[in-house]
Amino acid sequence: MNALINWLDNRTGLKKLMHEALYENIPGGARWRYVWGSTLMFTFTIQVITGLFLWTAYSPSTTTAWESVYYIQHHMQFGWLVRGLHHFSASAMTVLLALHLMQVVIDGAYKAPREINFWLGLILMQIVLGLSLTGYLLPWDQKGYYATQVSTEIMGATPVVGPQLQNLAQGGPQYGHHTLTRFFAMHAGVLPGTLIAFIVLHIAVFRRHGITVPDPDHAPATTFWPDQVLKDAIACLAVLGTVLTLTIWHHGAELAAPADPSEAYSAARPEWYFLFLFQFLRFEWVEHQGLAFGAIYLPGALMAILAAMPIIGRWKVGHAFNVTFLFVMMVGIIGLTGLALKNDAADPDFIAAVKQAQEDSIRMKSIIEPPPEGIGTGIPLEGAVSLLRADPKAQGPRLFARNCAPCHRYDGHDGTGREVVKIEKKKDGTKERVKENATAADLGKFGSTEWIKAVITDFKGTFSALANVKDKDGNVAESSKRFLEGDMSIWSASHAQHWRVKENEQALTDLVAFLHSQGQRKGAPGISDEAPKRGRQIFETGKIPVGDFESKCTDCHSLQPIGEDKLLGEVGAGPSLTNYGGKIWLTEFLKNPGHEKFYGSGNAMPAFGERLTEKELDLLVRWMVGDFE
């Protein structure tokens, strides 16, 4: 080994380099407070190594970016581990950066003759934040797509050159393929290269002036090797352990559903280290001042004070100001971050949007993966987002929220899990969320046995929301009165006593089973089962064990049983029950509820055949009847 080292030293000067690197003098001895610079270099090294591995499998285009990240996360050997280490070490680097800045300012390591090194450190901080920002978009998922749009809008608010900067970053006036390729070029090429160059400068200037020691008499002087190296190594292992624990706990980094510009995403938030700015911009008084004030001028002023610290700190009182200013700024950032998290935790719309995003992510995996893990056969050439757009389970709730929720509810919400509310201004000028009353029946259980049973036994209660439709005088609208007090309501109320008789319980179950079987929905009984057969007899004859119907079902309703040409009853006062609650019935009804076989001229519901495309109508209906894997 000595011969080899001597040979290398003769050719390269290795011993001198090693001595310069390892035997730096540390007055006052090795200390834990000096580890932050080394841990920052360690996390950056993790970023570089894991980033290179991710680069080998990543494909930056709008139809392959999400798809390649999905491959990394779910199929590449240990891809989830590499991606998780890359993601969480980025967060760790931000925390360590803040701690390093605080240590430098508290120790006065920014003072002469170290001003240049301090300014280089601030430049490095900006580059690291730029890396975090550009990396957020690369998975091309809903979360990153909409969160990054906010940052480019902020860029567009820059005075004079804002629009030009935004177009340059986006690759044009709108988000698209060039946005992704430019962000990737910045994240994987320009910014890391720039960071490495400034790190070299930072270390070179640092070594020129040496370490800043606030109390050199704290302990006997030592050298970087081995005492400080040991402490740095332990700190780096602690960082690695933390990052690895978070990666294993979360099984990699989150991957939301693929970005879909046609869908709004109200759960979009920046990464946690930018949440403070997000929360600050949400304050009403900041919004009143404009985006440029909250995102450009004020943060720019704070950065200017940081940059001026070496000048301010020439005096003792100036150093005290710098330490106090940095402490207040850090407390403010932590406070705003906490406030943002608290507000989100209390925001029902945000909670519902997060839940829907998680469901979409799980659904995407189910659609893509072949059996037995999923139901799909892979990702088509047009991209994964096409699968989500064609999925009734994903699109049905959205279509319901846009088209049906203004009147109906779905288990009390708008179909996507959000309450239907309106914002009202109070007398004192403040605003409050007020829950809007439904004006039509809740369709959460439409077509199920529970729904059919409720319509038969409590018709008026099932459709009670219609009473919320008011005329100009504030009274219940005449159309609602006619419906709630019509023949079916009277029949249901007059026969309620029959269903309370124990001997009639099976008859009610059979009648419900017959109607349920005609819809041919998943889980419905077969038309040849015994219960539906008995139910058909009740439907046609109106005979039950105790207290027969005053009028049988066929007196008002028509129904063509599955597989038969025979029509039970004639078109009358009530809607046709052929395929009731199933895909065929619901499609025809939504297309034209005013058709004579449904509600005729007494109908108040709009015809959605004119509002929705055939594809949209199919997705909505299939979701409502549960026709999906």
- The pLDDT, as a whole number, for residue 40 is 96
Mean pLDDT throughout 240-256? 96
pLDDT in tens, 522-570: 999 999 999 999 999 999 999 999 988 888 899 889 999 999 988 998 8
CA–CA gap between residue 240 and residue 89 (Å, rounded): 8
Residue 606 has pLDDT above 80, yes or no: yes
The β-bridge relationship of strands 421-425 and 222-223 is: unpaired
What b-and-e string marks burial along 33-72, b requiring 16 or more CB atoms within 10 Å of the CB? ebbbbbbbebbbebbeebbebbeeebebebbbbbbbbbbb
Q: How confident is the model at residue 396 (pLDDT cuts 50, 70, 90)?
A: very high
Phi, psi of 422 (to 5 degrees): -130, 155
Sign of CA dihedral 56, 58, 59, 61: negative
CA–CA gap between residue 73 and residue 84 (Å, rounded): 9
Residue 20 has pLDDT above 80, yes or no: no
- The pLDDT, as a whole number, for residue 366 is 93
- The pLDDT, as a whole number, for residue 227 is 87
550: three-class secondary structure by DSSP: coil
Q: Residue 156's CB: how many other CB atoms inside 10 A?
A: 18
pLDDT in tens, 158-190: 888 888 988 998 888 888 889 999 999 999 999
Query: 615 vs 261, 595, 609, 620, CA distance in Å?
Result: 19, 22, 11, 9
Q: How confident is the model at residue 50 (pLDDT cuts 50, 70, 90)?
A: very high
CA–CA gap between residue 584 and residue 519 (Å, rounded): 8
Return the minimum-mean-pLDDT range out of 451-455, 533-537, 574-578. Answer: 574-578
Q: What is the 3-state secondary structure (H, E, C) of 563-614?
A: CCCCCECCCCCCCCCCCCCCHHHHHHHHHCCCCCCCCHHHCCCCCCCCCCCH
Query: What percentage of the chain reaches a pLDDT higher than 70?
Result: 100
Query: In this structure, what token pair is assigned to residue 66?
Result: 């999400």
pLDDT in tens, 478-514: 888 988 998 899 999 999 999 999 999 999 999 999 9
Q: Domains in the chain, start-ordered, CATH in brackets?
A: 32-259 (1.20.810.10), 269-346 (no CATH), 449-581 (no CATH)
- The pLDDT, as a whole number, for residue 220 is 81
Q: How confident is the model at residue 268 (pLDDT cuts 50, 70, 90)?
A: confident
Nearest to 557 by CA among 518, 587, 523: 518
| Contact between 574 and 488 (Cβ < 8 Å) | yes
pTM score, whole prediction? 0.88
Q: Residue 499's CB: how many other CB atoms inside 10 A?
A: 17
Residue 216 has pLDDT above 90, yes or no: no
Q: How confident is the model at residue 446 (pLDDT cuts 50, 70, 90)?
A: very high
Q: What is the DSSP letter of 248?
A: H
Phi, psi of 410 (to 5 degrees): -125, 100
31: three-class secondary structure by DSSP: coil
The β-bridge relationship of strands 25-26 and 222-223 is: antiparallel
Phi, psi of 463 (to 5 degrees): -105, 25
Query: 196 vs 121, 138, 193, 601, CA distance in Å?
Result: 12, 21, 5, 75
Q: Which residues have C-beta within 8 Å of that of residue 204, sequence separation ≥ 6?
A: none
| Contact between 475 and 419 (Cβ < 8 Å) | no
258: three-class secondary structure by DSSP: strand
Kind plus residue range of the DSSP H or E element containing 433: strand 431-435
Q: How confident is the model at residue 140 (pLDDT cuts 50, 70, 90)?
A: very high
| Whether residue 226 has a cis bond before it, omega within 30° of 0 | yes
